[in-house]
Structure 1
């Protein structure tokens, strides 16, 4: 099966052409009065038909960036000199996550005097790359997810963002992601729980019942074993050391430590058991591929699209890779550690914030407000599989042309199970240290005892630091 349909590939090329020309105009590479390359040259450069190129140029005409002159060409408008420009620091994945390019184009149509210049931030060091640009006065708006905001708040950097007025139309739990000391620092745009995504056809072919809300992780492992035997392939995959994956097991068990008899801290039996189950799954290479070197979420999606595995842990954002494919898939809640345990999963929320030292603060506020508005949220609902943060829009029916799972609205029943990483009670820096320890464990560089003792030591140090901080505050 191809990773992308022809339609999707064409749309991406057209979007890229429009985005590239828009950026060149707004950044001054193409000055007012300059002519764009001929349509035939653009068609060759971006692998599009002349008709598609004309469609893309029409978008730039509607945005007031260019003017078409019959039998002459397309020229950059003089009025571009007068536009307010705001720089938007964001992850490169947002184009897929909720059609960011479409949202920016619509904002330009509604606010022709303001133009948004997206700046892709380092996906592996989002916060630090954003802080560097902010400190140099090069950002006006910042996109960040719930984990990245937690990292900013813990480092004292949340104060670099403007506070915003709460919006009661947004799901309350999504706004909670961006609260710090009682103040709201970003408007949520979209959110997703981590869920189980599975190939329905594979379960039918193996004559197995589909996953349900009663599944435990042992049930998943047993079904994966039967799928692997019958299909002759691995059955399940996700990036093992991702904070958005291993943390689910810790959320389900809670994080507690105890003395090991010699007064050295180690993980409690309940916490250790959750990692035992996790390791039992990840290290079973009959059902789970050996840890892939790239450590990218794209690998998980690629294996699922190619039908190399039957189950993945995913977010709704990941489902946008399937929206134009004929893949027969659906969703289920994550399994639990033990039968009849309450369900619990991780929530990931993406939001947008106004940068405090922006020179275009009013324009930046308009853009952030637009992203959370009913108009923008409706575009997310209709054009992607992501969940809008605005409740009324998220739950509205749509005339669906996308390959959306039949259980798309399952998330509404899962709200009581949602937690953020901060609910673990540990800072992001400690969770990142956990990731390194888990990598060392799965690479057999340390044993299980060392893993539990090192994790216990990190937790104990954090608890001592909190206790000392509370004592100093009280005195």
Structure 2
């Protein structure tokens, strides 16, 4: 693929420079009266010509943020108008997931009287971090993915957010993630199913047919075996204990227990089979690396980019790591447990919500509305490989300059297969306990029989709690 910078990428770099300088001025990083870096330095930093840098600085002059002084440089205005500040709690990954920085820059251009200040929340405890900051009056708006919102609602904290009016132009399945007791609390910005991503060149070199919608997990394991043999490297990887990965097997089988002859509860044959298939995959160290014990998606992406593995389970969000590379890759639906089983996969949706106790609620609402607007959704569609939540924008054609998979629009055919973690019928707290037990099993600290027993205990305890309620 041709990676030369085209007209689109030039525009993106120019917009990024203007947005970054604007944000630094409004946030106080560049203080009043301070001088901007020299035009030559800005040109080098943002990969622009000096002429383009001057064009960008002219925009900031027109906005009243800087003044150009001949033979001296560009200076931040002493009288920059005070802006309303909106504190936006979010994950640091949103900059990659759908170019949050660019979206904020465009919002500042459209709403010069409002300044958005992103505040990174704890990646490992996003919900509790957000709740604590909201209760302390530190947030005006917050981002949540579908799993985090489920956890928030289960903790009884959904009412910390302002209810919103539904937008019929957003994909219904994406909006569904943020309903609680018939109230909508967040607008979806972008969503993605978990899919199989594979290196097309590796399949050609191994003389193997590419994955298709009829694949079972056994087909994947066999293809991975042949790839590993012919390439002398591992064939597939993902983070085994991630709730967004092991859960797809449980979604495909369901989570059920049955009574054996002694009335002892044990996993249903379907649930036990799904865990067995998963274990056969991740414990086969001919095809699946055993030396990566972390819980970071970056490891998965790094192995795929370095062509150390041929297949990964991933989301469209992570495909943004490939958008400027020459990597020859494509997508396929996740395999099934059995040939005749219906296809199922996990859907991950990211949304934004207004904080109910915000002192700047109207400005926060404008920002949240903007993130789901046509303008913002176009930026996501044109500059990223992520899927916008606004249907008309997501499905529009675009003059593509990104390394987008040929099957980018495959997701439209997969809507009937989408499920959220809540469809498992277990709270997020129980699923986190599942992860600990599964980690112990994959680390060889417990055997398969103990794994089944401990999972049965977790499921039975939840069933008892449900009956009490």
TM-score under structure 1 length normalisation: 0.92
Q: Bigger CA drift: 150-159 or 115-124?
A: 115-124
* Deviation at residue 77 of structure 1 after TM alignment: 2.8
- Secondary structure (helix, strand or coil) at the match of 1:67 reads strand
For residues 104-143 of structure 1, the aligned pairs below 5 Å read: 104-143=104-143
Question: What is aligned with 2:33?
Answer: 33
2:189·2:377 contact (CA, 8 Å) conserved in 1? yes
Residue 434 of structure 2: aligned partner: 434
Change (3 A) 1:216 1:6: same
After the TM superposition, which of the residue ranges 32-41 and 46-55 deviates more from structure 2? 46-55
> How far has the Cα of 1:443 moved from its partner?
0.6
Q: Which moved more, 1:69-78 or 1:295-304?
A: 69-78
1:200 corresponds in structure 2 to 200
Once the two structures are overlaid, the 10-residue window that deviates more, 198-207 or 35-44, is 35-44
Corresponding residue number in structure 2 for 1:314? 314
1:241–1:14 CA distance, 2 compared to 1 (3 A): farther
> Would you say how many aligned residue pairs link Structure 1 and Structure 2?
465
Q: 1:472 corresponds to which residue? A: none
TM-score by length of 2: 0.93
SS of 1:309's equivalent in the other structure is: coil
Counterpart in the other structure of 1:237? 237
Is the 2:215–2:335 contact (alpha carbons within 8 Å) kept by the matching residues of 1? yes
Structure 2 CA distance, aligned partners of 1:399 and 1:6?
14
Confirm or deny: 8 A CA contact 1:343 1:417 kept in the other structure: yes
Indicate conservation of the 8 Å contact 2:27/2:115, yes or no: no
Question: For residue 302 of structure 2, what is the aligned residue in structure 1?
Answer: 302
Paired residues of 1:189 and 1:377 also in contact (CA < 8 A):
yes
Q: Deviations over 1:56-108 (max 9, x none)?
A: 65564465433333223222234534211111111111111111111111111
CA distance in structure 2 between the partners assigned to 1:464 and 1:14 by the alignment: 58
Q: Which residue of 2 aligns with 1:398?
A: 398
Contact 1:5 1:324 in 2 (8 A): no
Unaligned segments of structure 1, at least 5 residues: 470-475
SS at match of 1:167: coil
Of stretches 268-277 and 18-27 in structure 1, the one that deviates more from structure 2 is 18-27
Q: How does 1:154-169 map to 2 (within 5 A)?
A: 154-169=154-169
The unaligned stretches of length 5 or more in structure 2 are: none
Deviation at 1:294, TM superposition (A): 2.6
The change in CA–CA distance for 1:163 and 1:80 in structure 2 (over 3 A counts) is farther
SS at match of 1:102: helix
Displacement of 1:43 in angstroms is 6.9
Q: How does 1:76-475 map to 2 (within 5 A)?
A: 76-469=76-469
> Cα–Cα, structure 1 residues 56 and 421, in superposed 2: closer, same or farther, change >3 Å?
farther
Deviation of the 1:263 alpha carbon: 3.9
Deviation at 1:29, TM superposition (A): 4.5
Change (3 A) 1:283 1:73: same
How many angstroms apart in 2 are the aligned matches of 1:19 and 1:264? 62
CA–CA separation in structure 2 for the residues paired with 1:345 and 1:300 = 19
8 Å CA contact 1:194–1:314 kept in 2: the answer is yes
Change (3 A) 1:432 1:13: farther
CA RMSD of aligned residues (A): 2.5
Question: Which range is displaced more, 291-300 or 278-287?
Answer: 291-300
Q: Distance in 2 between matches of 1:11 and 1:310?
A: 34
Measured after TM superposition, the shift of residue 25 of structure 1 is: 2.9
Partner of 1:473: none
State the secondary structure of the residue aligned to 1:215.
coil
Tell me if the contact between 2:67 and 2:75 (Cα under 8 Å) persists in the aligned partners: yes
Distance 2:254 2:356 in 1: 36
Contact in 2 for aligned 1:228/1:286 (Cα 8 Å): yes
Query: Do the aligned residues in 2 keep the contact of 1:217 with 1:277 (CA within 8 Å)?
Result: yes
Secondary structure in structure 2 of the residue aligned to 1:170: coil
1:307-351 deviation per Cα after TM superposition (whole angstroms, max 9, x unaligned)? 110000010111111111111111100000001110000000000
Q: Which deviates more, 316-325 or 125-134?
A: 125-134
